[in-house]
Amino acid sequence: DIVMTQSPDSLTVSLGERATINCKSSQSILYSSDNKNYLAWYKQKPGQPPKLLVSWASIRESGVPDRFSGSGSGSDFTLTISSLQAEDSAVYYCQQYYASPYTFGQGTSLEI
Partner 1 sequence: QVQLVQSGAEVKKPGASVRLSCKASGFTFRNYYMHWVRQAPGQGLEWMGIIYPSGETTSYARKFQGRVTMTRDTATSTVYLQLTRLRAEDTAVYFCARDPSGEDYFDHWGQGTLLTVSS
Distances (CA, A) of 32 to 24, 47, 110: 18, 38, 33
Closest CA to 96 of 26, 10, 20, 48: 26
Q: What residue type is assigned to position 96 of the chain? A: Q
What residues between 56 and 75 interact with partner 1 by CB under 8 A? 61
Stretch of 21-29, 65-73, 76-84, 95-103 lying at the interface with partner 1 (CB under 8 A): 95-103
Q: Should residue 95 be labelled a site residue for partner 1 when binding is judged by CB under 8 A?
A: yes
> Which residue from 25, 37, 55, 75 is in contact with partner 1, where contact means CB under 8 A?
55
Q: Should residue 104 be labelled a site residue for partner 1 when binding is judged by CB under 8 A?
A: yes
